[in-house]
Copies of this chain bind each other. A is one copy, B any other.
Amino acid sequence: MDDVFADIDGHTEEYLARLKRALAQPSIAAEGAGIAGMAALLADDLRAVGFQVEAVATDGPPVLLARMEGRRPERLLFYNHYDVQPVDPVELWTSSPFEPIVRDGKLYARGTSDNKGAIYARLAAVESYRRVRGDLPVGVTWVIEGEEEVGSLHLHQFVAAREDALRGVLGCVWEAGGRDARERYEIGLGCKGILYLELRARGAARDLHSANAAIIANPAWRLVWALHSLQGPDGRVRIPGFYDAVRPPTPAQRAALADWDYPEDEVRALYGIDRFLDGLTGMALKEQLLFGPTCNIDGFHSGYGGPGSKTVLPSQAVAKLDFRLVPDQWPEQVLEALRAHLDAEGFSDVEIAWWEGEAPSAGDPEHPFVQTAVRAAERVYGHRPALLPMMAGTGPVYLLCGQFGTPMVTAGVGYADSRAHAPDENIRLTDFVDGVRYIAALLSEYEDR
């Protein structure tokens, strides 16, 4: 590998310059800002390195489908996204979010960590690899969508149109990840699923003086009671059958969990909490974080929220909920059970205003593709990476991988203070270079020996 690593070192400035140009191009999916420009710039950069690129149309932003052949017919799948989070609160940024700048060995800009840094690390790895070795050992199919940050709303249209491109690959290199708070490299092997929905209770046609509360139903109370019927102070979801489909971790998944070093003290300090839920710690905490399904209130809004007092009987109350799902819980089934539960508990007046869902997908730490990724990481990072059989968050893993039986591993260039989704998002330049090397090392694992 030294030959490829040397080429990477010799072109680092050039690779960083290309990344900076991409970071200077806004691409905020939530606002539609710069999305088309970013798709065009990225397609050009992919073509310049030798990819065949097609912009597959959806009802949302186009999905870039880039292909490159290797010496052997087998293929790897790469997944990334070219959109970024909004920049608010922009006043908390030290420098402008779309004017990339290096300070103290860190590159600051929106998208550095999530996830233009990872895209351009992969591109750099492929470029150096081919310059030194001629061809890649295996082909690469690269899917880069433009609305991951708003829930990959139209990605299923791409999948329906180009399912063939997703089948029969060796494995998928997913976006995100990097080093943890103790500098250990971390690889995710799957994602929880999600059922996100809005509950709505209605009262009078408009807000009324709260003196009317004596004789007119308050939708905020209706929603409080309906929510209480879903989950009580013990934290258990009360929807009948909710836990029935939950598959416990396999021995290999449990071993990976045991090996994973969750930085409890650092997390408690960072988030300003005295203890974790139910006083959990150690293995039980890790298992709950990665394998525990949840019902979370993302928002509850009703009536007056300004300063001081206003006596209002609200006309409506809305709660946004997310259920994080684990194998084998399916969003549609949970939704159906939720509706039946609300009806049975006397809350047929509480509407499910809308919903969206993604299925869960857990990974097998013993899968050969995962073991290949582990070897590549050991070569670059010098230690055995932590493996997360399932990540606590959600992405379209089932959609792109799980449903086709494709194993996946994350590969990112972030670190504990990368501030994804927050002001002063940044990556360390050393992590970028390691990220380039890691993809090169992973490709090299597929050389005939």
A residues near B (Cβ < 8 Å) are 150-151, 192, 194, 196, 203-206, 208-218, 220-221, 223-225, 227-228, 231-233, 271-273, 276-277, 280, 285, 288-290, 292, 294, 296-305, 308-314, 317-318, 320, 322, 324, 346, 356, 391-394, 421
Contact = CB atoms under 8 A, between A and B. Distances in A.
Nearest to A295: B213
Interface residues of A, dominant DSSP: mixed
Given A150-B308, A301-B301, 19 more contacts: A194-B311, A203-B273, A204-B273, A206-B272, A209-B393, A210-B296, A214-B289, A216-B276, A217-B273, A218-B297, A221-B231, A221-B297, A296-B311, A296-B313, A298-B310, A299-B310, A304-B320, A305-B318, A309-B320
A205 to B, nearest CB: 3
Contact of A228 (B217, B228, B273): B228
B304 A298 contact: yes
A148 B139 CA distance: 76
A204 B272 contact: yes
A91 B292 CA distance: 50
A202 B212 CA distance: 30
A211 B192 CA distance: 9
B292 A214 contact: yes
A301 B296 contact: no
A206 B89 CA distance: 14
A307 to B, nearest CB: 10
Contacts of A221: 227, 231, 297
Contacts of A310: 298-299, 320
